[in-house]
A and B are shown apart, each in its own frame.
Chain A
Amino acid sequence: MVSPASRVLITGANRGLGLEFARQYAAEGWRVLATVRNLDGAGELRALRGKVDIAHLDVADEGSLGAFLRDVGSAPIDLLIANAGIGSGGEKPAAAVTREEWREAICVNTYAPFRLAAALRPNLERGRGKKFAAVSSLAASIAGYPIAGHYAYRASKAALNALWRSLAMEWRAAGLIGLLLRPGKVRTRMTGFTGDLEPVDSVRGMRAVIARAGFDDAGRFFGYDGREVPW
């Protein structure tokens, strides 16, 4: 059993994997700080049992991030799960990639989680858990992804892997463990509910990966099934 005082921050917690992370950690007695971009859409999150605090955060908006960071203050955070992200928008040829599409993907999937982690380093250092995880994707795997399309999405997740790896390598010396997670193809809104596993199983698997990660795992990329994902 985890210490009841352990505190996890989960972004994009109003639905899908983020909501399931919040549900499972709360059920285990963690204090959950769950962030959402839209407080109106947080009904399921509000209904969770346990110690769940809900906060508004749109990391793409510096004003929102600043207000959130002021609220968090110097509170210790044991675990950060940077989960918020947008999907691929379907398989499209290279010729269909627009500037608007890739800029949005990079802002939401790459910049936002990185920006948040960089800002929360002091909080993570004050926590006991000292872990920060980002929800990546098999699409980020240059070696392992067998599909051509999804250019902007792939680029955004590959760039996230690169940034998170750099953070993990630099912050290792401070005792922090950075992890990248592959949730698998989960039946959520993002996949049009076409996945091959349920959020409950994906999240249970990822939580196990996080729980057992040690210093040697800093900067590595693991699937929900515990298997390492090739870069």
Chain B
Amino acid sequence: MPSVLIAGANRGIGLEFVRQYAAEGWTVHATARSDQACAALAALDPNVRSHRLEVTDPKSIAALARELGSGSLDVLIANAGISGDLARPPEQVDRRELLEVMGVNTFAPLHLAVALRPHLERGRLKIAAAMSSLMSSIARNTNGTQYVYRASKTALNAVWTSLAREWRPAGLICVLLRPGFVRTEMTDFKGELEAPESVRGMRKVVAGLTLADAGRLIGYDGLDLPW
């Protein structure tokens, strides 16, 4: 069975990815920031192996790559993300928050993918997926708000499409996924769909990917989101 690594797996969409892939018999590497969350993940299913990972810490990323050793990875799902203070008006956005949110949402996925590239190259499916958002779409932004979060996800789209271009010659498929507005802690459980439905949709998208899809931003519904 294939293997998948899910970063930010202790709750919400990440946790649901763990459940569904494990239930299908995949080998699931699930990462979380705390020992407690790792223990809970490992207890979920015999197919789950948990790893401690702080995505913004290069040492932690390097340690994860060492733990995976010479093993292979079919799919990476860079799911870990933060929302920051979504309600902050523009004049109150400070540099610290912009750097923090972009560190987690934009550059950590890039650094993680780079560290795990050897494992993905040894895998059969060769898929690196990052979790984008409707909020990443500038074309769809007609009312402003959520300044920092939007910027971090738009920038994620920029770096991930670059990565898709750079890695395509090696046969690696980099794609962006849009989970939809899911009822999770991040949305204060105010979303329009439940995590199982969103993740089922995104798994279907992942299952159908070919190299021709590299660089796309595809929703849980199979539809592309305009940039």
Residues of A within 8 A of B (CB): 93-95, 97, 99, 102-103, 106-107, 110-111, 114-115, 117-119, 121, 140-143, 146-151, 154-163, 165-170, 219, 230-231
Q: Is the CB of A159 within 8 A of B139?
A: no
The DSSP consensus for interface residues of chain B is: helix
Quick check: A102 and B145 within 8 Å, CB to CB? no
B62 within 8 A of A: no
Report the separation of the CA atoms of residues A106 and B162 in the bound assembly, to the nearest whole angstrom.
Answer: 17
Q: Could you list some 8 contacts between A and B, CB below 8 A? A: A97-B110, A102-B107, A147-B165, A151-B163, A155-B156, A163-B147, A163-B151, A167-B90
Number of inter-chain CB pairs below 8 Å: 132
Residue of A161, A162, A167 contacting most chain B CB atoms (<10 Å): A162
Q: Chain A residues with Cβ under 8 A from B91's Cβ?
A: 118-119, 121
Residues of A contacting B110 with CB < 8 Å? 94, 97, 151
A167 and B98 in contact (CB under 8 A), knowing A97-B107, A155-B107, A159-B154?
no
Find out whether the CB atom of A231 lies under 8 angstroms from the CB atom of B113. Answer: no
Q: Cβ of B150 and Cβ of A95 under 8 Å apart?
A: no
B166 at the binding interface (Cβ < 8 Å): yes
Contact of B141 among A141, A160, A166 (CB under 8 A): A166
Within 8 Å CB of A119, what residues of B?
Answer: 91
Cross-chain contact of A154 among B143, B144, B158 (Cβ < 8 A):
B158
Tell me whether B162 and A148 are in contact (CB under 8 A). Answer: yes
Q: Does B37 contact A (CB under 8 A)?
A: no
Could you give, for residues 132-157 of chain B, a 1 whenever the CB lies within 8 Å of some chain A CB and a 0 otherwise?
00001111011111110011111111
B72 at the interface (CB under 8 A from A): no
- Residues of A close to B20: CB separation below 8 A: none
Contacts of B98 in A (CB 8 A): 106, 110-111
| A170 contact from B145, B153, B154, Cβ within 8 A | B145
Top 10 closest pairs, chain A to chain B, by CB: A170-B144, A158-B158, A162-B154, A148-B166, A155-B155, A159-B151, A148-B165, A166-B144, A231-B227, A169-B144
